[in-house]
Each structure stands twice: as structure tokens, then as C-alpha cells.
Homo-oligomer: A and B are copies of this chain.
Amino acid sequence: MIGAGNVAVHLSRAIQDKGNPVVQVYSRSETSAASLAGMLGAGYTTSLQELRRDAQLYIIALSDDAIPEILPALPLTEQLTVHTAGSIPMSIFEGKMHNYGVLYPLQSFSKKHPVDLSNIPVFLEANTPANLKTLQSIAGTIFSGVYELTSEKRLLLHVAAVFASNFTNSLYDIAAQLSEKAGLNFDLLKPLVMETARKAVASGSPAQVQTGPAKRNDRNVLHKHAELLAAWPQWKQLYLQLSENIKKT
């Protein structure tokens, strides 16, 4: 396991739980490497030169930024190596390795929050049918569904995930700040947050369950809200644009 951050931790534990021992953890940070290796009962190193060469699979679970930096320093050529990044094409391995691919789990990982990978899908890509088969057989034991996806489509899926998860959370944050301005705790909004997610998930498509003043084109309410938000121009601009998007949809 190359990396010891959120994705590395969740993935390592799930892989090992399913009977595939993680033999070694690499991280630049000795604390992180030792901590994850300790959890797994694995070895660890902070030197790429000390990577074991006998693993079945090398997983680079690093941020999109860090992957191109580490690749030239990896002492691997024949060993099957994958990264886990949504927005980095598989071609980044070209000319450097002979056996490579991508293993992209569609989930947002936080260290503190345990995630059950057996509920989430994973998207694979490999440079040969044999390597794809190896990845499929490992991933099949860990994830709820295993899908082959090209780099181009994976980038689209990553953008979709940013909208569905990162941006959604940032709207929760705006809502939390607005409710605080009304002297109310975000706790009071939590039933609404959960119900909105549940309803979209239960629906055929989120468009079918869209509600609110923009959907009804309720000009009075839209106008009042925009006026109220004049004190926070960035939120006002988002309010107008998101409303516009709903109206056009």
C-alpha cells in the first residue's frame, strides 16, 4: 500500500479483512506509515527503494497531486501497480510500467468515519485483459459492484461525485451558517438533510423529486430570498445560479 491517508487506511483494512494480507505500507511520513502498518500487522517503510518487490498488487492511494511526483521514483516495472484517483488517466503509467491500471472506489473517505466498502461500487481500468482479471478478482471480494470504466468516463464520474458529495456538503455548510444567523443550531436541519438524501435515493431520478421556490418559479419568494442574501454576495450569487439551473431543468 503506497500511501497512508484516508483512502489507504480504508482500502487496506478492507483488503486485508477479505483475506488479502497487506504486506507493507509506504508513506513519506513515518508516523502515518507506522500507524497504518500497526493496524494491519504489516511492515512499513519511508523509502521507496525499500519497497518489497514480491507483492501481487501495488496500490498508490495518494492524492491526485502526489501521484505524478512519486511515479518516477518507484522502483517497479513488472509488478501490477494501480492508482485510485478519479481524475488521473491510466496513461500516466505508460512507458514507466508494464502492468498497470486504476482502481477507483466511488466514495468520500474521512479518517474518523468508518465506511463499509461492501456497499460501494469500484471502477477499474487495466492495460491488459489479464491485469483487469486480477483486479476484478481482488475488487470483487471487497466492493458491492465492480465496473470497467475508461479514464475519460472516470473523469466525468469524478466530476459527478464532486457535485453529489463535496458540493452538497458545502451547501450543508452554508445552511448551517445561515441557521446560526437565525440563532438556530444546524442540528435542527439534520432531519431535512437526511430526508432530502433519502428521497433522492428512493426516487427514479432526483429531478422527479425537485421541490422549492425555484421549481415552482415562485417569484415572490425568490425575490425575498435574494434580498435577504444581499448581505452575503457569494451566497446570493450561488442562490441565483442554483435557482436558475433548477428553472432551466
A residues whose Cβ falls under 8 Å from a Cβ of B? 63-65, 87, 106-110, 113, 115, 119-121, 144-145, 147, 149, 153-176, 178-179, 181-184, 186, 188-202, 205-207, 209-216, 218, 220-221, 224-225, 228-229, 234-235, 237-239, 241-242, 244-246, 248-249
Minimum C-beta distance from A245 to chain B (A): 6
Contact B193 A197 (CB under 8 A): yes
In the bound complex, residues from chain B placing their C-beta under 8 Å from that of A176 are 160, 205-207
Number of copies: 2
Contact B181 A193 (CB under 8 A): no
User: Given that A87-B225, A171-B168 are known contacts, is A189 also in contact with B106, CB under 8 Å in the complex?
Assistant: yes
Q: Among the listed B145, B190, B207, which residue makes an inter-chain contact with A201, where contact means beta carbons less than 8 Å apart?
A: B190
- Majority secondary structure of chain A interface residues (helix, strand, loop or mixed): helix
In the complex, A154 Cα to B167 Cα: how many Å?
A: 25
Minimum C-beta distance from A96 to chain B (A): 18
- Which of A159, A199, A218 has the largest count of B CB atoms less than 10 A from its CB? A159
User: Given that A170-B245, A249-B170 are known contacts, is A175 also in contact with B199, CB under 8 Å in the complex?
Assistant: no
Contact B167 A182 (CB under 8 A): no
Minimum C-beta distance from A166 to chain B (A): 3
